[in-house]
Chains A and B, each alone.
Chain A
């Protein structure tokens, strides 16, 4: 009987998606990372390979969970709301939400929960402020599909367009400190912070609550 396994090779690490590679630069080696909506575990596998992290994942779909197990990852099947609630306060170093925020029903609640569970959180979002997306609506009158990963408005998963400016304002209002930010444009371009909302297709933020956490947060 042959048992399906996923064997990662150096080629996998080399061909990792640019936004995941960029995200990984925000993670300290040897830390504990919880990836929400971890899919097939590509990010977690990459982080264990290059940063030696101890990865945990939460994934809704059985196919994703099984792919993660084939990669030797620790993953739990469930939705983010029921999944996150069980983790103790400040129990992991990073909670990651990669290219998923725009699919969530209650994004501010999920981010608050991420802040509770993680010492730091990393959120990456597609930016509908990207100039082509703007022109698409202005000139053609079509709601722009995702700037980096297109989803039609009729697609099965509902999504909500958002921009870098929206997200920065949200952080300000919620008292969330942006510790680090990375902006990616098409073809490996990295726009400046000032021009990011117009030129970036993807933004990655490392965030920390400016409200001091319970005393165990420094341990």
Chain B
């Protein structure tokens, strides 16, 4: 029972930094102060060597595990993989997850109050990149007194942060688990994000981002979310989830105001509930960060981005039916690492669930991640936290 208490109820902490010297961002802009909302699960060992950083995707938050202290119905977004005895085993590892800057779950973003005006930043918040998100996470890891993370892991946009860590701070992590992700956003990925942003920008309630205190551009954000949900599924999973089945009716309605098909209803449901938990401006900022992401940008050669990462171990996972982040992007990454002689394990997991697979293929992910981390911990002689040493003995 006590083991479960470690993760079951979670709460968010906040780190505020750059109150003096402002935080420098990729665009050239600066930000001061910067707030990071984060949660931790499990305990640090005395050597401070068992820390794992989890990076979230586009709409995720710092609540990666457990149930929310305020709403017991609300499970962490990677609940199935983080906790006692799970893939990221909180009886062995100290797991950290922070909300990316630009997002809207308590970290600095367009909804934060601009200290200069006393009003929400809106579009005056500086444009954020994946590099900025990671630079901010480094401050958190410094603050927690962790010299080197055992692992940084995440899927989709979380995977981009993982790759950014390995590229820019290779001496700060032993291993990287980028899942269903890419080292450079493709035109297809940019295109879907662009249409999502358009839906928001064309919502009359958006008002150039200055909508706080008024009606929010919920319709635009809902459409953006619907597009997202299409890209997270696959042709096969849509066939099996919905087929051509009708929603709450026996025959076609021959009208437009009510939905006919189950797939329509699913998209509307997910679209409509999204604005209650996500901010439209944050959607613009975070998708833009993904679109700008390209680790090969500097020299045109992806391998150059990892030239200092020889010591980092990689576990790279893609899914056969993921057409948003197709396997070729992971293979491109594996190839780049192999040309440098970097130790990269790669699996293309057979799955019908499309991009969503990284959250759904729990038993496969558990097997891959747990065995990878076990091996690494054995080699590096990582001790469990004190509370669990007696149990392990």
Separation of A82 and B331 alpha carbons in the complex (Å): 10
Partner of B371, one of A3, A62, A88, A91: A3
A87 touches B371 (CB 8 A): no
Interface residues of A in 32-86 (CB under 8 A from B): 56, 62, 65-66, 69-70, 72-78, 82-83, 86
Partner of A86, one of B87, B335, B347, B368: B335
B346 touches A78 (CB 8 A): yes
Task: Mark the stretch among B50-58, B120-128, B143-151, B336-344 that contacts chain A.
Answer: B336-344
Q: Is A11 an interface residue (CB 8 A)?
A: no
Interface residue tally for chain A (C-beta within 8 Å): 23
Binding site for B on A (CB under 8 A): 1, 3-5, 56, 62, 65-66, 69-70, 72-78, 82-83, 86-88, 91
Interface residues of B in 269-308 (CB under 8 A from A): none
B338 touches A65 (CB 8 A): no
B335 touches A1 (CB 8 A): no
Interface residue tally for chain B (C-beta within 8 Å): 30
Chain A residue numbers with a CB within 8 Å of B378 are 72
B316 nearest in chain A by CB position: A76
- Closest CB pairs A-B (n = 7): A72-B375, A86-B338, A76-B346, A3-B370, A86-B335, A74-B345, A91-B341
A76 touches B334 (CB 8 A): yes
B367 touches A77 (CB 8 A): no
B348 touches A75 (CB 8 A): no
Chain A residue numbers with a CB within 8 Å of B374 are 5, 72
B338 touches A62 (CB 8 A): no
Chain B residue numbers with a CB within 8 Å of A73 are 345
A76 touches B367 (CB 8 A): no
Known: A1-B366, A62-B348, A62-B349. 18 other contacts (CB 8 A): A3-B85, A3-B367, A3-B371, A5-B371, A65-B345, A66-B367, A66-B368, A69-B372, A70-B367, A72-B374, A72-B378, A74-B344, A78-B331, A82-B335, A86-B335, A86-B339, A87-B339, A88-B339
Interface residues of B in 308-348 (CB under 8 A from A): 313, 315, 331, 334-335, 338-341, 343-348
CB B306 to nearest CB in A, in angstroms, measures: 13
Which of A4, A69, A72: most chain B Cβ within 10 A? A69
B318 nearest in chain A by CB position: A77
B349-392 interface mask toward A, CB cutoff 8 Å, 1 = contact, 0 = none?
A: 11000000000000010111011101100100000000000000
Which of B86, B346, B368: most chain A Cβ within 10 A? B346
Chain A residue numbers with a CB within 8 Å of B86 are 1
Which of A5, A77, A91: most chain B Cβ within 10 A? A77
Separation of A76 and B249 alpha carbons in the complex (Å): 49
Q: A72-B374, A86-B335, A87-B341 are in contact. Are A1 and B347 (CB under 8 A)?
A: no
Separation of A87 and B335 alpha carbons in the complex (Å): 8
B350 touches A62 (CB 8 A): yes
B85 touches A1 (CB 8 A): yes
B341 touches A65 (CB 8 A): no
Chain B residue numbers with a CB within 8 Å of A3 are 85, 87, 366-367, 370-371
Q: Can you list 27 pairs linking A and B with CB atoms under 8 Å apart?
A: A1-B86, A3-B366, A3-B367, A3-B370, A4-B367, A5-B374, A62-B347, A62-B348, A65-B346, A66-B364, A66-B367, A66-B368, A69-B372, A70-B367, A72-B378, A73-B345, A74-B345, A75-B345, A76-B338, A76-B345, A77-B346, A77-B348, A78-B331, A82-B331, A86-B339, A87-B339, A88-B339
Which of B86, B87, B375: most chain A Cβ within 10 A? B375
Q: A1-B86, A86-B339, A87-B338 are in contact. Are A69 and B371 (CB under 8 A)?
A: yes
